Amino acid sequence: MTATPLATRERLREVRYEIRGELARRARELEARGHQLIKLNIGNPGAFGFRAPEHMQQAIAAHLPQSDAYTQQQGLPAAREALAAHYSRRDGEAILPEQVFIGNGVSELIDIALRALLNPGDEVLLPSPDYPLWSAATILNDGRPVYYDCRAESGYLPDTEQIEALITPRTRALVVINPNNPTGASYPRELLERLVMIAAKHQLLLLADEIYEGIVYDGATFTPLGSLAGDVPCLSFGGLSKLHRACGWRVGWGVLGGDLWRLGDYLHSLDLLSALRLCANVPGQWAIPAALDGPATIRPLCSPGGRLYETRRAVLESCEASPYLDLVAPQAALYAFPAFRRELLPHLDDHRFALELLENEHVLIVPGSSFNTRQRNHFRITLLPEAGTMREVFARIERALARHAG
């Protein structure tokens, strides 16, 4: 009998995640050969020398003797109580601990949220560009991503008329990524209010990816979607990874607001799926109350003179000086999303450019098309390196683009 390759799930062929995909694998090969790379593909603060705040580290250390056992599937009671109180204050709506779910990062909770919601063929409205985990989780839970455009000429803000035109009887949820990854857009209150009205009219679940809450620049503001949703079901996601620079701790949460009578079955489904994975990482959950009640350590980093602010300034100045690049200034989050000018580089493909930049200039970026957008002239970089490093990165990018333009 001839052996055949082990078959895998067919829908995996529809999934892309270039942030850690082919280019990242090639980067590891180059590093193994001794090449020094500047890697801007992942928003991973710890890889750039950031540390989680001391008061959060101490909270974990103090509770390690109490961390050996499984906890309740939705999360540590003390952590859920702290989150319920925080979101009640933040959103102006009473939140109970039973409405809070803690996971191994927001990524796990996105998968659980969609698995609890979707039947085969159900549709989820996603921004384009999106964070590709949302598309992957929709596909792998037998749903269908339907994309609404967020264009550079509109400041990467969505068109609510287009969103409403895309709704069908199979549409179940509207995903809002604010502050936005990959574009750095921060959505104004009036836009969010219109999105809530659409969800109410069509009885959609709002899924608010707010992992970059609080990371804003130059007077930009963040408005929580849950503070506007009222009785409309809204599942808001947050965590320790970005705001508190603790990616490796894998601590995220989802807080479900809205009319509890409507949410009963969905809450039960989330609880069942949470129980099937037993519980989230216990030690990291002890840091949640300390994070919520402690100082806002992100603010100095995002203010003039702060590291994130000055690196963002280096990106803005580099793109402004470039004959080849355009950039909508990121208002928030940890990324910039430059585009090369089509009138000068009409045929340059973003993936090809990213590969050549890696091979020839030893800089790792993410092609814009990896974020499920039709345009192929963008790339995403993280703002986490020092400003001097970022200026060197753009000097290398300029060299690479000049070779194509020449």
Where are the domains positioned within the chain? 11-51+300-405, 54-293
**54-293, which class in CATH?**
alpha beta
253 or 374, which is more confident = 253
> Is the Cβ–Cβ distance between 313 and 387 less than 8 Å?
yes
| Mean pLDDT confidence for 97-125 | 97
Average of per-residue pLDDT values in the chain: 94
The region of weakest confidence among 10-24, 111-125, 233-247, 350-364 is 10-24
C-alpha triplet 383, 207, 289: angle, nearest 5°: 70
The separation between CA 37 and the C-alpha centre of its own chain, rounded to angstroms, equals: 24
pLDDT of residue 19: 65
* Tokens representing residue 160 in the block: 């609510």
What CA–CA distances, in Å, run from 92 to 79, 199, 200, 212, 226?
19, 19, 19, 20, 9
pLDDT of residue 39: 94
Residue 406 pLDDT greater than 80, yes or no:
no
Task: Write the pLDDT tens digit of every residue in 182-198.
Answer: 999 999 999 999 999 99
In percent, the amount of the chain with pLDDT more than 70 equals: 99
Topology, domain 11-51+300-405: Aspartate Aminotransferase, domain 1 (3.90.1150)
Residue 405: which H helix or E strand, with range? helix 387-405
> Position of tokens 């906890």?
71
Residue 1 pLDDT greater than 80, yes or no:
no
Residue 21 pLDDT greater than 80, yes or no:
no
Question: Does this chain's domain 11-51+300-405 share its CATH topology with 54-293?
Answer: no
3-state DSSP call for residue 313?
Answer: helix
| Mean pLDDT confidence for 153-175 | 97
276, with CB counted inside 10 A (0-12, 13-18, 19+), is exposed
